[in-house]
Structure 1
Amino acid sequence: MEGIKISIQDNIQIIEENIEKALRKSGREGEKVELIAVTKTVDINRIKNALDYGIINIGENRVQELELKYNSLGDKINYHMIGHLQTNKVKNIINKTRLVHSLDRLSLAKEIDRRSKNEGIVTEVLLQVNVAEEETKFGLKLNEVLNFLEDVLVFDNIKVRGLMTIAPHVNHEETLRNIFKTLYNLKEDIKSRNYKELSMDYLSMGMSNDYELAIEEGSNMIRVGSNIFGKRNY
């Protein structure tokens, strides 16, 4: 067990050092990048080890796993729903998440708003954008974002905090940079429109294989799993 703890500690330290390097490289030294540890299939003891070394945000792709982690670890950490969220599963995660990263359709927004209203809370969300328009991924197309955002802003119990994307799993740096740059520019465009009751605080982009590039292009929230916990067991 001690070997596992040391490994996780070292991995987190490496990621934190890489974050600082990427911030310096992009002229953003001193800015904050939030690290979300993706805990898909990771057992509770290994998550607790990560918490011992400063992790305060965990991200889950599946509602069932988020519920399991919440029931085991309680509310001492921040839970992020980073995967596709089915409308009929909203009831299971409402009032448990700090942030839902994957709002991408009006039916889901309506259900989040309705459930939040019943609980007397405001649920914070990111709009998921499929910048590369990959058929295998969920998310809004770039030309759909503004209209969808304006539809969501009418809901009293949802607060949009920014944008999220999942880049293609490729090793082509220019392709990745263009995707991240495109989402950053969209965020800046939305900010310049001065929508009432809207704060574009978060740009959630970058995972284990590309988070440094994402930070260099403006990300301030990264979702890292295998670089912390090792290769997943499915």
Structure 2
Amino acid sequence: MAIAENIKSFQESLALTNTKLIAVSKTKPNEDLLQAYEAGQRHFGENKVQELTHKSETLPKDIKWHMIGHLQRNKVKYIAPFIHLIHAVDSPRLLKEINKQALKNDRVINCLLQVHIAQEETKFGFDERELNEFLKGQEISTLENINIIGLMGMATNTSDNQQVDAEFKHLKGLFTKINTEISLPNVNLEELSMGMTSDYPIACENGSTMVRIGSAIFGSRNYQQ
């Protein structure tokens, strides 16, 4: 019952800022996802392709699946037929592969470009220079089966809220700048995916349109399962 209550609580609070809740269901059993589904949740985020494809085959077909983890190019083909949104597109090579697999499936796949805004070196994503070069280059206009609908970023894992706030502000600034400077048929920035369980209130204050919440909904995870 707690899962349903958590979903309703988040949906009510996020409605005040018109922010979409992505329930991060990685490692969780179908029973837990169904509790969230029955409480009205339709957007679910997974970070492993094998788990994502299995759940998509066995759970209700009106669920909108979000790939939120690092995606390897050789695994795009498995999610291309059904994925709703790919959050963590961190290179032109990955985007080209998504375009290729989308074409094979007669689809246009929505994507977010992941921007490296954190201080940790372990985070993936474009830096600001790479992002500008790619968006202003010639190659992007040839990718007719992808639609870049926004940006995604992960703040530094720190208790320093001022730093987190500054990183989210930076991403929001890039979002606004791109919308002002770039005019392409397949680049239409509407979504800003930033904020997780630990920092989503700061993300919402900075204009996030999607927050990725897992443990605050489903409880802590057992990665040894």
**TM-score, normalising length: structure 2:** 0.93
8 Å Cα contact 1:103-1:126 kept in structure 2: yes
**In the TM superposition, what is the alpha-carbon distance from 1:194 to its structure 2 partner?**
4.2
**In the TM superposition, what is the alpha-carbon distance from 1:90 to its structure 2 partner?**
0.6
- Structure 1 unaligned runs (5+)? 1-5, 24-31
**In the TM superposition, what is the alpha-carbon distance from 1:19 to its structure 2 partner?**
2.3
Provide the rounded CA distance (Å) in 2 between the counterparts of 1:20 and 1:174.
Answer: 25
Q: 1:184 to 1:117 in 2, by over 3 A?
A: same
For 1:52, the equivalent position in structure 2 comes to 38
Aligned length: 220
- Structure 2 unaligned runs (5+)? none
Letter in 2 for 1:103: V
Higher alpha-carbon deviation: 38-47 or 147-156? 147-156
For 1:160, the equivalent position in structure 2 comes to 148
For 1:91, the equivalent position in structure 2 comes to 77
**In the TM superposition, what is the alpha-carbon distance from 1:20 to its structure 2 partner?**
4.6
User: What percentage of residue pairs aligned between the two structures are identical?
Assistant: 40
For 2:93, the equivalent position in structure 1 comes to 107
> Which one of 32, 37, 58 corresponds to residue 23 of structure 2?
37
**1:213 pairs with 2:208:** no
Letter in 1 for 2:93: S
The structure with more strand, counted as a fraction of residues:
2
For 1:195, the equivalent position in structure 2 comes to 183
**In the TM superposition, what is the alpha-carbon distance from 1:16 to its structure 2 partner?**
2.8
**TM-score, normalising length: structure 1:** 0.90
SS at 1:10 equivalent: helix
> Which one of 132, 135, 143 corresponds to residue 129 of structure 2?
143
> Which one of 33, 40, 63 corresponds to residue 77 of structure 1?
63
Provide the rounded CA distance (Å) in 2 between the counterparts of 1:154 and 1:146.
Answer: 17
Provide the rounded CA distance (Å) in 1 between the counterparts of 2:172 and 2:85.
Answer: 19
RMSD: 1.4
Letter in 1 for 2:213: V
For 2:169, the equivalent position in structure 1 comes to 181
Provide the rounded CA distance (Å) in 2 between the counterparts of 1:121 and 1:231.
Answer: 36
**In the TM superposition, what is the alpha-carbon distance from 1:65 to its structure 2 partner?**
0.9
Provide the rounded CA distance (Å) in 2 between the counterparts of 1:20 and 1:88.
Answer: 37
SS at 1:115 equivalent: helix
For 2:48, the equivalent position in structure 1 comes to 62
**1:12 pairs with 2:7:** yes
For 2:160, the equivalent position in structure 1 comes to 172
8 Å Cα contact 1:95-1:119 kept in structure 2: yes
Higher alpha-carbon deviation: 108-117 or 76-85? 108-117
8 Å Cα contact 1:95-1:123 kept in structure 2: no
